[in-house]
Structure 1
Amino acid sequence: MALLLGALLVAAAIVLLSLALREAPDQRGVARSIALIEATSSTPTALVAEADPPFRERALDPLLERARGLGRRLAGRDAPDRIRRRLDQAGNPAGWTVDRVLTWTVLGALAGIGVGTVVGLLLGSPVPVLLVLAAAGAVTGFHAPGLYLYQRGYDRSEQVRRALPDALDLLTISVEAGLGFDAAVQQVAQNTEGPLAEELARVLREMQLGQGRAAALRALADRSNVPELRAFVGAMVQADSLGIPIAQVLRVQSSEIRVKRRQRAEEKAQQVPVKMTIPLIFCILPALFIVVLGPAALTIMDAF
């Protein structure tokens, strides 16, 4: 009986063990299935994103690409070089690139057409005048980005022209005090502010990246349209190539630039009477005539 009971218990244990071993693969398979379902349930987000891109990628980006291509065809082959030069003269504003400027020219033309048409409709203009207003708006919108860059470059050039004499004085004092040219330029870039300090800092970075001093200075002259700065760069490049003492060249350049600034101030002062003629004739003299001759005219009218 004891042997029979033991055999039954062993058989029951074998059966339970076999059942357990047979359920484990099922459980592992179920776990794998659940993991696969969870994995596949998390991927539809990426699949949906690929199958259904946002509105910008579906509509705006192709529209901007077509506008960019149309701007390239309308502006001409040399347009990228001209725009790149204007961007350099304007200080490379953040977010402004050649492709973006070309795109904005076309979008500005379309916006100008819309504005001109709306203005013509609000004024109740006839069809020919409406077409003229739309064409004027298109031309204005097409050239608006270029005019903005030109004005920004002009303002920046004026800031460079005003800051150049003081910067050259500081540069001359630093070199005569014993500093090298590169260290003197670094002192000017660190102790001054404005576009000229930014340009000198860029020259230093270019030299640190391995570019020669002459090449970095020539690049500085190419990025600017200030005649005084171009003359200074030419003198420094020539002095560097011929071995002339830099302190002496800086002293001469500083003196010449101060003379030019004085001459430019005198020229501006001599232009004042000519510029005052137009407001004097059209604004001041009529008011003066009314004040002086008005009472006499009223008296004459009462007498007659």
Structure 2
Amino acid sequence: MAPTPGPTLMGVDVTWAATILSGVAAFAVMVAIYAATSVRDPMTKRVKALNDRREQLKAGISASTKRRAKLVQRSDATDRMRDFLSSAKMLQDSQVKAAQVKLAQAGIRSKDWAVAVIFGRLVLPIVFGGIALFYVYGTDELADWSPLQRYAAVAATFLLSYKAPDIFLKNKITKRADAIRKGLPDALDLLVICAEAGLTVDAAFGRVARELGRAYPELGEEFSLTAIELGFLTDRRHAFDNLASRVALEAVRGVVTTMIQTEKYGTPLASALRVLSAEFRNERMMRAEEKAARLPAIMTVPLILFILPPLFVVILGPAACSIKDTMMSGN
């Protein structure tokens, strides 16, 4: 005896749909519980990175050559990737430096990851492109596709696999820059207060980093690194240039330029930072107003697709049911 089919909605079995949705909901609950129970302190990793940078600067100033070699730690996997790329003549110094700059802007302090990024550009297209070639041309799963569609699928797989490391880094750089941009006006206000209180530049950066480390951890980390470099490097301008290179943000470059000019010409630091802070606050307000002005246009599509249909059902549904009942009772 065949099983009785369950109720359907728009051709979809309601029982199966409810089962799948229940499974998805249970999985989401498990993920939420895991995320809540495995929360880690984000400052632990940042403090470790700052301590490592302090040790590197100490080693560069006072340690011997053997001590410096001990402080430079490289993993075996990184060495193997570097040897493979060097043997294939695909590891260029310009590529490594560009990858290191992007990693620093993304908040990744280990320079060995630059080799991994270049290695990923080589390996990922081979792996995923090979899988796509086998799936498209070696099986009959896409036999009904035209030759142009199959070629486009394989080419898109190769291209996305090659660009995947750069896309990942660009996404992290953008998020980090946005987080730093939000806290920059507050940081400049605190720098003005510290400068007027008579603190030195490195002490002011360290104080601001401690005060804003919880609210804006990315900005606090960058200011802490700058304070450490200001205390150890012989050329203070080099520390400011490092800050500008680590943050992909024009506002930070403007702050760095102001700091360098005040160091060179002896202009008042507090007044210059106060002007920059006011400009950044006005810019942040303008961005908020721009987003608010775009909101009606952005809400048009969700309003038409998701809000108006349920509204019509709620308003016209009872009337339609009443008309149907009336017509059936009349018959």
Q: Which residue of 2 aligns with 1:246?
A: 269
Q: Which residue of 1 aligns with 2:117?
A: 101
- The CA deviation at 1:111 is 2.8
Q: Which residue of 2 aligns with 1:227?
A: 250
Bigger CA radius of gyration? 1
Contact 1:68 1:100 in 2 (8 A): no
Contact 2:81 2:119 in 1 (8 A): no
Q: Which residue of 1 aligns with 2:283?
A: 260
Q: Which residue of 1 aligns with 2:6?
A: none
C-alpha separation in 2, matches of 1:63 and 1:253: 44
Structure 1, unpaired ranges of 5+ = 1-55
Contact 1:70 1:106 in 2 (8 A): no
Asked whether 1:196 is paired with 2:219, we answer yes
Listed as ranges, the matches of 1:156-171 within 5 Å are 156-171=176-191
- The CA deviation at 1:104 is 0.8
Asked whether 1:281 is paired with 2:304, we answer yes
Q: 1:80 to 1:297 in 2, by over 3 A?
A: farther
Contact 1:67 1:103 in 2 (8 A): no
C-alpha separation in 2, matches of 1:165 and 1:140: 37
- The CA deviation at 1:81 is 4.2
Question: RCO (CA 8 Å, sep 6+): is it higher in 1 or 2?
Answer: 2
CA RMSD of aligned residues (A): 3.5
Indicate which of 72, 75, 83 corresponds to 2:99: 83
Bigger fraction of residues in helix: 1
C-alpha separation in 2, matches of 1:244 and 1:285: 60
C-alpha separation in 1, matches of 2:82 and 2:320: 67
How many residue pairs were aligned? 244
Structure 2, unpaired ranges of 5+ = 1-75
Deviations along 1:126-155, whole A, 9 cap, x unmatched?
273444333222211111111110011111
Contact 1:71 1:106 in 2 (8 A): no
Contact 2:82 2:115 in 1 (8 A): no
- What TM-score do you get using the length of structure 2 for normalisation? 0.62
Percent identical pairs in the alignment equals 32
Q: Which residue of 2 aligns with 1:65?
A: 84
Contact 1:236 1:246 in 2 (8 A): yes
Structure 1 window deviating more from structure 2 (116-125 vs 251-260): it is 116-125
Asked whether 1:111 is paired with 2:131, we answer no
- The CA deviation at 1:174 is 1.5
Q: Which residue of 1 aligns with 2:3?
A: none
Structure 1 counterpart SS, 2:142: coil
C-alpha separation in 2, matches of 1:213 and 1:66: 36
Q: Which residue of 1 aligns with 2:240?
A: 217
- The CA deviation at 1:118 is 6.4
- The CA deviation at 1:64 is 7.6
**AA matched with 2:202:** D
Q: Which residue of 1 aligns with 2:161?
A: 141
Contact 1:101 1:145 in 2 (8 A): yes
Q: 1:175 to 1:95 in 2, by over 3 A?
A: closer
- The CA deviation at 1:211 is 3.6
**AA matched with 1:104:** G
**AA matched with 1:155:** K
C-alpha separation in 1, matches of 2:134 and 2:316: 46
Q: Which residue of 1 aligns with 2:141?
A: 124
- The CA deviation at 1:233 is 1.6
